């Protein structure tokens, strides 16, 4: 189901949110974060993805992304499809204490969809917002990084391991 957040300009920077279905706290485990990081690194090297800023939360990721060849939607589609398969396989193979619950959540989320009938890891919407001004960039950067401190997850934003905050803290 579309919510109106579409990537129309494939060459612009977009603020995107990738959410785990049912807001399941998947990224409390490093193994799942690493799957996504490895896949993004591949897309950076092989597909021209540009990651301008990011933060992993327990059940979603905020990104500021663009694509060198103007194919951002395609990269996101492929990346989410690929990481979903790897994450679901990891849930099934690993000694995941929440395996039964996560499998149930992922299978329930896939119900009624034509593209992923067996399981679903990511919500369909990316909530992509085109970055159109320096003020908007700063607003999104502050939200993306300061959210960690506001939620009480770290005392200083640069302490969060899975975030680009450390790269920007000097400018604060």
| Model confidence at 82: pLDDT above 50 | yes
pLDDT tens digits, 10-49: 989 999 999 999 999 999 999 999 999 999 999 999 999 9
* Gap between the Cα atoms of 104 and 137, Å rounded: 38
* Gap between the Cα atoms of 162 and 172, Å rounded: 19
What pLDDT is stored for residue 49 in this prediction? 97
DSSP structural state of residue 6: -
Query: Edge-to-edge strand order for the sheet containing 14-19?
Result: 49-56, 60-67, 14-19, 129-130
- At 161, the pLDDT band (50, 70, 90 cuts) reads confident
What pLDDT is stored for residue 165 in this prediction? 86
DSSP string, 7-27: ---TTS-EEEEEEBGGG--GG
* Gap between the Cα atoms of 124 and 4, Å rounded: 12
E strand map for the chain: 14-19, 49-56, 60-67, 129-130
| Model confidence at 96: pLDDT above 60 | yes
What pLDDT is stored for residue 59 in this prediction? 96
pTM of the model: 0.90
Tell me if 62 sits within 8 A of 55, measured CB to CB.
Answer: yes
pLDDT tens digits, 104-155: 999 999 987 777 779 999 998 899 999 999 999 999 998 988 888 888 888 9
């Amino acid at each position: 189901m579309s919510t109106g957040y579409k990537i129309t300009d494939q060459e612009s920077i977009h603020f995107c949110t990738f959410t785990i279905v049912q807001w399941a706290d998947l990224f409390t485990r490093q193994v799942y974060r690493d799957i996504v990081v490895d896949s993004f690194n591949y897309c950076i090297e092989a597909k021209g993805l540009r990651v301008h800023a990011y933060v992993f939360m327990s059940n979603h990721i905020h990104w500021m992304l663009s694509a060198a060849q103007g194919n951002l939607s395609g990269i996101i589609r492929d990346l989410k499809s690929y990481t979903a398969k790897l994450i679901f396989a990891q849930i099934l193979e690993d000694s995941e204490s929440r395996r039964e619950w996560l499998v149930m959540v992922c299978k329930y989320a896939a119900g009624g969809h034509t593209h992923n009938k067996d399981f679903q890891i990511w919500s369909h919407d990316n909530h992509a917002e085109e970055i159109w001004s320096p003020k908007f960039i700063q607003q999104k950067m502050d939200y993306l990084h300061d959210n960690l401190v506001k939620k009480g997850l770290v005392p200083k934003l640069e302490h969060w391991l899975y975030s680009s905050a450390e790269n920007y803290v000097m400018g604060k």
